Amino acid sequence: MKIIDLVNKLGLEILSGNNGLDRTVSGGYTSDLLSDVIANAEANNIWITLQTHKNVMAIASLKDLSAVILINDNKPEEDTREQSNSEGIPILGTKEKAFEISAKIYELLNNNSKVNL
């Protein structure tokens, strides 16, 4: 599944990194602890978090994550946005809470992989 499919199906707001909407997403990781994400997220995961500072993009890039979703209507800081644009890793926004959005993404990815079988 592509990031743009998730954006359309879940009504996510595109906050930056429009040039990366074609990236593939294969799973997700929900955490606000950066040491947890750097150690445990996998490449092509979408990262669900409330952290908005620039280090989020450093980790997204180092781990080859496909996109970042900011929950609870959080917005990225300006330098976070800039790095998202230059790396081509989108930052998406939702008013939903981490639990709800994670569940919805899990269901979409799970159903999608069933269809592909």
Partner 1 sequence: MLEETISLRYKIAGGDFSNAGYASSQIKKRLQKLNIHQKLIKKIVIALYEAEINVVAHAYNAVIIVNIDNDKICVNIKDNGPGIPDINQAMEKGYSTASSKIREMGFGAGMGLSNIKKNSDKLEIRSKVNEGTEINIINYRIYPRNENN
CB of 108 to partner 1, least distance (A): 26
Task: For the CB of residue 61, give the shortest distance to partner 1 in the complex, in Å.
Answer: 6
- Half-sphere exposure in the Cβ direction for 90 (13 Å, CA): 25
Q: Residue numbers of the site for partner 1 (CB under 8 A)?
A: 32-36, 38-39, 49, 51, 53-55, 58-59, 61-63, 79
Minimum separation from the CB atom of position 110 to partner 1 (A) = 25
- In the complex with partner 1, the residue whose CB is nearer, 32 or 73, is 32
Instruction: Decide whether 51 or 94 has the Cβ nearer to partner 1.
Output: 51
d(CA 34, CA 23): 22
The closest alpha carbon to 46, from 111, 101, 85, belongs to 101
Query: Which of residues 1 and 60 has its CB atom nearest to partner 1 in the complex?
Result: 60
* Sequence-distant (≥ 6) Cβ neighbours of residue 78 within 8 angstroms: none
**Quick one: 61 or 112, whose CB is closer to partner 1?**
61
CA atoms of 56 and 61, how far apart (whole Å):
9
Closest distance between partner 1 and the C-beta of residue 68, in Å? 13
d(CA 117, CA 21): 24
